[in-house]
Structure 1
Amino acid sequence: MPRMPALTTSSDGFLLHGEPFRIISGAMHYFRIHPDQWTDRLRKARLMGLNTIETYLPWNLHEPEPGTLVLDGFLDLPRWLRLAQDEGLHVLLRPGPFICAEWDDGGLPAWLLADPDIRLRSSDPRFTGAFDGYLDQLLPALRPFMAAHGGPVIAVQVENEYGAYGDDTAYLKHVHQALRDRGVEELLYTCDQASAEHLAAGTLPGTLATATFGSRVEENLAALRTHQPEGPLMCSEFWVGWFDHWGGPHHVRSAADAAADLDRLLSAGASVNIYMFHGGTNFGFTNGANHKHAYEPTVTSYDYDAPLTESGDPGPKYHAFREVIAHHTATPDEPAPAPALKLPVTDVELAHRAPLLPYLRGLSSTDTETPVTMNELGVHTGYVLYRTTLPGSGDGLLRFPDGVGDRAQVFVDGASVGVLERERHDETLSVRVPHAGAVLEVLVENMGGVNYGPRIGAPKGLLGPVSFQGTELRGWECRPVPLDDLAAVPFGPSTATTDAVPAFHRGTFEVDSPADTFLSLPGWTKGQAWVNGFHLGRYWNRGPQHTLYVPAPVLRPGANELVLLELHATTGTRAQFTDTPDLGPESD
């Protein structure tokens, strides 16, 4: 006989172990935060007045290959759940399968997306079977942390804003039953934008419906109540900030405005999950992208203008929300946390370099008659260099009729001749070819998988044939850029103070006592950054973001190493670690 869940519902609210309970939660993604900082962030959640913490689960990282479950390092979810419980916090889990989250491919694994015919987020047995297999591995490891077994997890979400995507109710029922069949006894709920259309398509009879919104509190709660006449009112994503795209503004929302809406929510008796309480960082190649009218990749920072900043410091919203929450419920009788110490300003001379293209030419290639996508090469992130020869000479058009995914730098005999971008719908490039047999090289960058809407899983790399002066180019060498281990990069002394070719650059710097810091790269253009082998992520002078967050645990006392992969040009060979982030000019 099934046990009564710890969290249940009444006609107008929640009950926890039979007693009235209001969820005051905040979103925090363990996989966007250095594991050595989890305890600090969870403690600060409790001190703001939260009684619950919420997280998505990124399927693409937890199961990078079919049948392989990863639960360590940044993905040590059992440890994170244990730390949350130690802090006295309940937990809401959102396992997907789709998470959106401005995350690469919305959290769907690349190996699953490799099947071009699969119907994502549907009753297609190829999709449901893959998710079932993932749950078969994942849920036994999480069972001790479920409330039924004395753990902190009090509720689990079914899918994610499904009403904005489809209306396959049989699929939603499958996800619901898949959780139940594998021992999840806790309260299950759905989450949709607060419109009649989305709520109708994305909810299940007998399953708690919750809504997502960031303003118009009374209107959105009324829409939820119209759809669900009884039960708790809950805003499961109360949007208090927003994310940024490269080339766009840095989004902010005033603390006073967000706090006023939070007060309206709580005054209405509703429960809330603040999205985000603490955003964290899209380290490495984990950022997603949007694609409605044009492709728009998300920046490295996921600060989100959240109450707790990207580096874990209380911002204006932290103090404003803490005050609002204290008006509605008992809060800890402890002072608000202070900002963490920052590393003193430190300059770094990158005195060693290794040109990228000559290095790549010495690596083995996959040879194909026509270009193949990154997906077909089994390359899920990063870059691929495509190489062939040009049969003619003179001025002419290079045509990429199917476009590129997502950004291509084009070289003729090693000289840069232009850039093509998916976001601009570029398909042609005027070039001058000095002689027949000149070498054409195309370095294509995956800028992040679309995380929302019907374009999830869109291919990367060269997406079709390439022609010059009307002649299709054939006989291609395809070389992924190896970035997992930079030890093989053939660095030598840098002999110039400027550089105008793609190259790795390396420098060392001294640290007395590790502390949070921000990497500033004035004079550099676009590329990737690593500190002590830890992949910070992408930088780009297009902005809005102009610094990269460096967590204190990445540093060590004594000598430290900075490596940059600069794709274009630099006006100098110096970088700087600063004590202040620069996420761009603010725009409400």
Structure 2
Amino acid sequence: MDRRRFLSVGILGPAALVTGAAPAAARAGRRGFGFTADGSGFLLDGAPFQIRSGEMHPARIPVEYWRHRIRTARAMGLNTIALYVMWNQLEESPGVFDLRTDRRDLEGFIDLCRQEEMRVLLRPGPYVCGEWDLGGLPPYLLRDPDIRLRVGSADDPRYLAAVARYVAALAPRIGPLLASNGGPVLMVQLENEYASVGSGSGYLEELRRLWLDHGVDGPFYTEDVLAQAESARTVVGGGAIGLSGGDAAAIAAARRAFPGVPALAGEVYPGWLTHWGDDTFQGRGNDISAALRGCMEQGLSFNIYMVHGGTNFGFTAGANADDLGGGYRADITSYDYGAPITEQGVPTARYAAYRAVIAAHLAVPPPQPPAAVPTLTGDDVPALLPEPYASLWDNLPGPLPAEPGAAPRPMEAYGQNTGFVLYSRRLPGLRGGRLAAERVHDYATVCLDGRYLGTFARQSLPAAVTDALGIATDGPPPTLDLGPAGGTATGAPGPRLDMLVEGMGRTNTGLALADRKGLLGPVTLRDAGPLTGELTDWRTTLLPMDEPFVASLVPGVGDPRRPGIFFRTTFELTRLGDTYLDLSGWTKGVVWVNGRNLGRYWQIGPQQRLYCPAPWLRAGTNELLLFDLHQLRPRPVTLHAALTDAP
């Protein structure tokens, strides 16, 4: 999905057949999924088949709720689930794949679809966008400073070699699930909206050939915007096309422009993404009833993006920026998306309306939705008050060896994918001046001998926030005042400068996709006498803030005046239920419940509540842990039943 552009519905260019590849239409008479001879529709085991699909991503849903969400989609009258595969969730380190544990079990999710009599549209990328960190590409690719992403082997063989490894790992699991082998997978999408960044068919055909060489013979399809695809002439041999934002009229336009090429409304948007700092949750006013009615009346195929959004747990949320990397805006933790099934699986009023539209055209009415999941509120658990528990500064791992004369390097250069990175060095003889930082990705709190100086933020923030937190807004580049005499220690080594950088979501679309995290530009001193100039010789400490690190925290806060504190409390439960933790009194940080990372919170909103699913709670004692970049004193955390109180 191309989140940057709001263009008309798109299709791919003429799908000329590739030598040696049987067209999907030729398979119409045998078992499996294919296309009619004239490309006007789809066939399943030789019979006409309308794809009525809703998108949901297993990576964004607790495993224990997979079946519940699939059943809720089926009860809306759908017969298919579309899903992205997040490559970076499956291969965090080069060649080390995990396709089994927790929300990575792709085969398990697809088998549940089969059990619930639902078909599957599989969207394995390798790039997916999806408001997911780096669009689903693994951050380890960014270790190479000049790597090119989303290109063919002629443009960057390193990238396509990594893609080939990914396909080789995934294909043996996908092949048996294809409709031609009796499985639920109807089609496999190649890449995602490639026409927004590239042109021609070369890269797409290389991807197609990789799948074919590993025994996955499709059929394949692509997703694009009409104006972009017509200009870029992206083609996949013998494939179908998905139309971003499509409806019946768009499919008709595609049929006129490209006769013989099957088309579906591949992404029909009931909502939209939301960034930190937006005034409200976006896309809640969308109503796709007319689009659904048009497709149902004409028997046309569609996919609702999203039917159920879920949650960007942990550090998985993406971001948007312009093609030069400016105008950065990070995505919120919730992926509710204004979908007809909410983040916690509740059917909305729009769900009922869409269900009625679809059911009116079905010979057999859809089943009833499953029972709602129980919830917890403040009536069940009194307000929680996490107390200072541990200081980050008292729990730092050892820094990496110093690199004399070197400028700071991003976390990817050291093999870290997400979290924070600390850059430190001494400033001998410092007697004042200003600190300037260019290209901070994405949020850096600065201390001098433990005294908080202020923050560099990549994203533009409201004046009330910048004033309250001392966020540098002058420049470019922005600067922070070091004070008349630096820190409190005046020994020979000089005061210690610490820049703690949070890497927020990597951009997930556009030409600035290679979004590395940490300090990417020079850090300099101004008006600092002999020290004036660029700072090098940094000591770098990696802080992925993963579960092992959090579990190993040593209690104690040596300096309660220095921000960077973990707060903790426990609470008792006699029954379990979904809940939302209200963090509106806190500033900016991350929350864990029983060791599970719920995601980021940020005072700028619009999200103030983080979803905590019941399966991550337990009867008896539960632990709540927060890491706040600014907070020094505890604030209450209250429980609510929904993301907002709005209907």
Give me the whole-angstrom Cα distance separating, in 2, the residues matched to 1:256 and 1:418: 40
> Does the residue aligned with 2:274 lie in a helix, a strand or coil?
coil
- Distance change (3 Å), C-alpha of 1:495 and 1:166: closer
The answer to whether the 8 Å contact 1:301/1:548 transfers is yes
Determine the structure 2 residue equivalent to 1:118. 147
For residues 562-581 of structure 1, what are the structure 2 equivalents within 5 Å? 562-569=624-631, 572-581=634-643
> 1:306-343, CA deviations, whole angstroms, 9 ceiling, x for partnerless residues?
01100011012211110111122245453334532201
Is 2:272 aligned against 1:242? yes
Inter-CA distance 500–574: structure 2 relative to 1 (3 Å threshold)? farther
1:322 equivalent to 2:330? Answer: no
Q: Which residue of 2 aligns with 1:357?
A: 393
| Conserved? CA contact 1:224–1:233, under 8 Å | yes
Which residue of 170, 176, 190 maps to 2:222?
190
Q: Are 1:429 and 2:479 an aligned pair?
A: yes
Instruction: Write the letter of the residue equivalent to 1:479.
Output: T
Structure 2 counterparts to residues 177-216 of structure 1, below 5 A: 177-195=209-227, 197-198=229-230, 200-213=232-245
Q: 1:330 to 1:549 in 2, by over 3 A?
A: farther
1:122, 1:168 within 8 Å by CA — same for their partners in 2? no
Q: Which whole-Å deviations, capped at 9, do the CAs of 1:395-424 have from their partners, x for residues lacking one?
A: 422122x32111111111111111111224
Paired residue for 2:8?
Answer: none
Q: How far 1:14 sits from its partner (Å)?
A: 0.9
Question: Which aligned pairs between 1:163-312 and structure 2 lie closer than 5 A?
Answer: 163-195=195-227, 197-198=229-230, 200-213=232-245, 217=247, 220-253=250-283, 257-292=287-322, 293-312=326-345
Tell me which residue corresponds to 1:386.
423
Deviation of 1:580 after TM superposition, in Å, equals 2.5
Amino acid of the residue matched to residue 453 of structure 1?
G
Q: Decide whether aligned partners of structure 1 residues 264 and 466 sit closer, same or farther in structure 2, where only a CA change above 3 A counts.
A: same
Is 2:82 the counterpart of 1:54? yes
Change (3 A) 1:494 1:416: closer
The answer as to whether partners of 2:85 and 2:123 remain within 8 angstroms in 1 is yes
Post-superposition CA distance 1:179-226 (Å, at most 9, x none): 122112332111101326457533324321221116xx4553344223
- 8 Å CA contact 1:210, 1:224 repeated in 2: no
SS in 1 for 2:173: helix
Q: Aligned pairs, how many?
A: 579
Distance 1:431 1:494, change over 3 A: closer
Q: 1:478–1:330: structure 2 CA closer, same or farther, 3 Å change rule?
A: farther
The offset of 1:155, in angstroms, is 0.7
Q: 1:109 aligns with which of 138, 159, 164?
A: 138
Question: What is the CA–CA distance in structure 1 between the aligned matches of 2:456 and 2:603, rounded to whole Å?
Answer: 17
Any idea what the Cα deviations from partners look like across 1:335-377, whole Å, max 9, x if unmatched? 33453220132222323411222332x6344422332211212
Decide which of 367, 382, 385 is 2:402's aligned counterpart: 367
Contact persistence 2:271–2:286 (CA under 8 A): no
Deviations 1:440-460, CA, capped at 9 Å, x for gaps: 110101011111011112221
Shift of 1:254: 5.6
Pair 1:449-2:506 in alignment: yes
Q: Give the TM-score, by structure 2 length.
A: 0.85
**Other-structure match for 1:406:** 442
- Pick which of 343-352 and 304-313 moved more: 343-352
**Aligned-partner SS, 1:142:** helix
What is the percent sequence identity of the aligned residues? 40
Q: Does 1:150 align with 2:211?
A: no
Question: Which of 496, 508, 511 is the equivalent residue of 1:439?
Answer: 496
Give the unaligned 5+ runs of structure 2.
1-20, 461-474, 527-531
TM-score in terms of structure 1 length: 0.93
What residue is the counterpart of 1:22 in the other structure? 50
Q: 2:644 aligns to what?
A: 582
Aligned amino acid, residue 427 of structure 2? L
Contact 1:6 1:186 in 2 (8 A): no
Gaps of at least 5 residues in structure 1 are none
The Cα of 1:5 is off from its aligned counterpart by 5.7
State yes or no: 1:551 paired with 2:601: no
Cα distance change, pair 404–47 in 1 and its aligned pair in 2 (3 A):
same
Residue 41 (1) aligns with residue 69 (2) = yes
Contact 2:318 2:331 in 1 (8 A): yes
Q: Deviations over 1:446-488 (max 9, x none)?
A: 0111110111122211113322123222322111125222122
Instruction: Find the counterpart in structure 1 of residue 12 from structure 2.
Output: none
Determine if contact 2:85/2:124 at 8 Å carries over to the other structure. Answer: yes
Change (3 A) 1:388 1:126: same
Residue of structure 2 in register with 1:376 after alignment: 413
CA contact (8 A) 2:174 2:216 kept: no
How many angstroms apart in 2 are the aligned matches of 1:446 and 1:201? Answer: 36
Q: Residues of 1 paired with 2:365 and 2:414: CA distance? A: 53
Q: For structure 1, which segment, 427-436 or 59-68, has the greater mean C-alpha deviation from structure 2 after superposition?
A: 427-436
- Whichever residue aligns with residue 8 of structure 1, its letter is G
Range moving further from structure 2, 234-243 or 4-13: 4-13
In 1, are the aligned partners of 2:452 and 2:562 still within 8 Å (CA)? no
Paired residue secondary structure (2:223): strand
In structure 2, the residue matched to 1:99 is: 128
- The alpha-carbon distance between structure 1 residues 493 and 571, as it changes in their structure 2 partners (threshold 3 A), is closer
Structure 2 CA distance, aligned partners of 1:552 and 1:518? 10
Structure with the higher fraction of residues in strand conformation: 1
* Whole-angstrom distance in 1 between the partners of 2:294 and 2:583: 42
1:495 CA displacement: 12
Structure-2 separation of matches of 1:325 and 1:191: 24
The worse-fitting range, judged by mean Cα deviation, of 162-171 and 523-532 is 162-171
Is the Cα–Cα contact under 8 Å of residues 271 and 282 in structure 2 kept in the other structure? yes
Retained in 2: the 8 A contact 1:49–1:331? no
> Offset at 1:493?
8.3
Once the 2 structures are TM-superposed, how far is the Cα of residue 429 of structure 1 from its aligned partner? 1.6
Aligned ranges for residues 74-89 of structure 1 at < 5 Å? 74-89=103-118
1:488 corresponds to: 552
1:512 CA displacement: 1.1
Instruction: Give the secondary-structure state (helix, strand or coil) at the position aligned to 1:91.
Output: strand
Q: Which residue of 1 aligns with 2:472?
A: none
CA 1:489–1:254: 2 relative to 1, 3 Å: closer
